[in-house]
Amino acid sequence: MLTGNTPEQPARLYTEPPITAFGNASRQFDQAAHVLGLTDNQIAIVKLPRLIVQANLPVKMDDGRIRIFQAFRVQHNKARGPAKGGIRFHPDVNLDEVSALAFWMTVKCAVAGIPMGGAKGGVVVDPAGLSVTELERLSRRYVAELIEFFGPDVDVPAPDVGTNAQMMGWMMDTYIMHTRRYTPAAITGKPLEIGGSAGREAAAARGLLFNVQRWAQRTGHHLRGMTVAVQGFGNVGSWSARLLAADGCRVVAISDISGAYYNPDGIDVEAAIGHARANRGILASYETKPGVKKLDDAMHVLELPVDILVPAALENQITVKNAGRIRARLIAEGADGPITYDADEILNQAGIPVIPDILCNSGGVTVSYLEWVQNRIGLFWSEERVNRDLEEIMDRAFDAVYETAQHRGISMRMAAFVVGIELVVRASEARGLYA
Ligand code: NAD
């Protein structure tokens, strides 16, 4: 893209405005608002987060020192139900990022048809640098300090990057010890023994699989033999690789914080998961396996000529800098916000379809919702039952987005925003503004 192409002002390369996650989210919102023709009042009521909580959590370290951890919880919108969203433990997490993630949760829940609003939490910490006992004290402190903002009818946290089922168990216990009521529905993504749902661990990736399958069905493609590259090999990345491989795809590249690993004949996903498990959760030294090559630059995992690219690490991975080099035939977003607003335009122009995060990875929050429902009615459903419900919800959501995209001639991402934001606006108007 060129701008300022006049004799006085020589052409210069377009540079993307500074990328912030909430900046991206706001531009997405504005475009969807334009497509929907929202009024200023409608925009005012759904654009900004409704509640922002910031805290400094004191936590005693194993050596007796007290360390302060900066923490956030943002509730974006609760017009359709209690807020729902994960808690991220990461050294770079900040209020801008958490606010964007909370907004995406609002839209994600609406697109999936889940009666919940959107929230997200974060703690500025590198969890790998803490002992298990320190992580437990930090997880408990987070809930103890912010307890008035949580509850099954208020705001229901879940795991995200850097947090896991065990931490959710500690958080649930802290909530129960403070409130003196057994309310497992206060937190989802818990261990099975204390009310976690069957199928929750794989849910985001299984939802991704259902979306990719539905896309293939509706566009006349066959997944068998399709090549796949996956960025990120945590919960979403490793499960996506596993489930796509089990469905007949050939996973040729995987990556994580340690680098990117490529085998054109296909990565043995189960062996890679075993390798990471035995190696503190990371793939480091996976290039020592037969046929596997480590890419010089881990970001090149995004640029391989594959059928399906699954970004499943963090946001802002595909930007104007590398969007023009993407050669995938389909991008299925496992991560939240992996493609910037401007990069999205480049991919649209190149005709590369993107199944957007707020649809593609919504299997995670969907099974979290099913866990919340099971906890509230005191029942446990089988994994088959949970997966069946998940598939039905994903197919319905995919069809609504796909048909809106076709009907309006817009990308699937914009269609998902249009579908989701319209539902939130309608719910807000049906409730009216309490004064
Ligand atoms: P995770 O912590 O389990 O895994 C993150 C992975 O990304 C790790 O393998 C890490 O090594 C890798 N990574 C980090 N920085 C990287 C980089 N620069 N390059 C390559 N790899 C890198 O987290 P997760 O739960 O799998 O979440 C991943 C993404 O999916 C996040 O955007 C999250 O918001 C989104 N998501 C997760 C769920 C869920 O249920 N877990 C649901 C919906 C969306």
Ligand 1 site, residue 46, Cβ cutoff 6 A: no
For residue 16, name the pLDDT band (cuts at 50, 70, 90): low
Given a cut of 70, whether residue 2 has pLDDT beyond it is no
If pLDDT is split at 50, 70 and 90, which confidence band does 17 have? low
Instruction: Indicate which residue of 78, 84, 108, 120 is catalytic.
Output: 120
CB 247 within 8 A of CB 213: yes
The pLDDT of residue 15: 61
Burial 207-238 (b: 16+ CB within 10 A, else e): bbbbbbbbbbeeeebebeebbbbbbbbbbbbb
The per-residue pLDDT for 413 is: 98
Domain 203-360 in this protein, CATH class: alpha beta
Report domain 48-184's class: alpha beta
Determine the residue type at 82: P
Whether 120 is a known active-site residue: answer yes
Of 232, 74, 98, 211, the residue nearest 149 (C-alpha): 74
Query: For the chain, what are the domain ranges?
Result: 48-184, 203-360
Arithmetic mean of pLDDT, 349-366? 98
Whether the pLDDT of residue 404 is over 70: the answer is: yes
Q: For residue 6, is pLDDT > 90?
A: no
Given a cut of 60, whether residue 3 has pLDDT beyond it is no
CA pair distance 328, 410, nearest whole angstrom: 20
Residue pLDDT, tens place only, 161-188: 999 999 999 999 999 999 999 999 999 9
Predicted local confidence at residue 382, as pLDDT: 98
pLDDT tens for residues 237-278? 999 999 999 999 999 999 999 999 999 999 999 999 999 999
Backbone angles phi, psi at 66, to 5 degrees: -105, 125
Closest protein CA for atom 34 of ligand 1? 336
pLDDT average, residue stretch 304-332: 97
For position 376, what pLDDT does the model report? 98
What pLDDT sits at residue 12? 53
Please give the pLDDT value at position 4. Answer: 40
Mutation pick for ligand 1 pocket among 314, 318, 355, 359 (CB with most ligand atoms within 8 Å): 314
Alpha carbon distances (Å) from 98 to 118, 160, 300, 355: 11, 11, 27, 22
Q: Is the pLDDT of residue 7 over 60?
A: no
Q: Is the CB of 97 under 6 A from ligand 1?
A: no
Question: What is the per-residue pLDDT for 435?
Answer: 82
Q: What is the mean pLDDT of residues 223-232?
A: 97
pLDDT of residue 10: 45
Q: Print burial letters for 253-270: b (CB count within 10 Å at least 16), e (below 16).
A: bbbbebbbbbbeeebbbe
Tens of pLDDT, residues 76-117:
999 999 999 999 999 999 999 999 999 999 999 999 999 999
Residue nearest to atom 30 of ligand 1 (CA): 335
**Ligand 1 near 170 CB (within 6 A):** no
The 227-231 sheet, strands edge to edge: 293-294, 259-262, 250-256, 227-231, 308-311, 330-332, 354-355
- pLDDT of 308 higher than 90: yes
**Mean pLDDT across 65-70:** 98
Q: Are 48-184 and 203-360 equal in CATH topology?
A: yes
Mutation test residue for ligand 1: of 87, 125, 135, 160, the one with most atoms within 8 Å of CB: 160
Beta-carbon count within 10 A of 426 CB: 14
Confidence (pLDDT) at 1: 35
Average pLDDT for 149-167: 96
**Can you tell me the distance from the alpha carbon of 120 to that of 91, in angstroms, rounded to the nearest whole number?**
16
Find the radius of gyration of the CA atoms of the chain: 21
Q: Which of 37, 118, 131, 43 lies closest to 362 in space, CA to CA?
A: 118
What proportion of the chain, given as a percentage, has pLDDT over 90?
Answer: 94
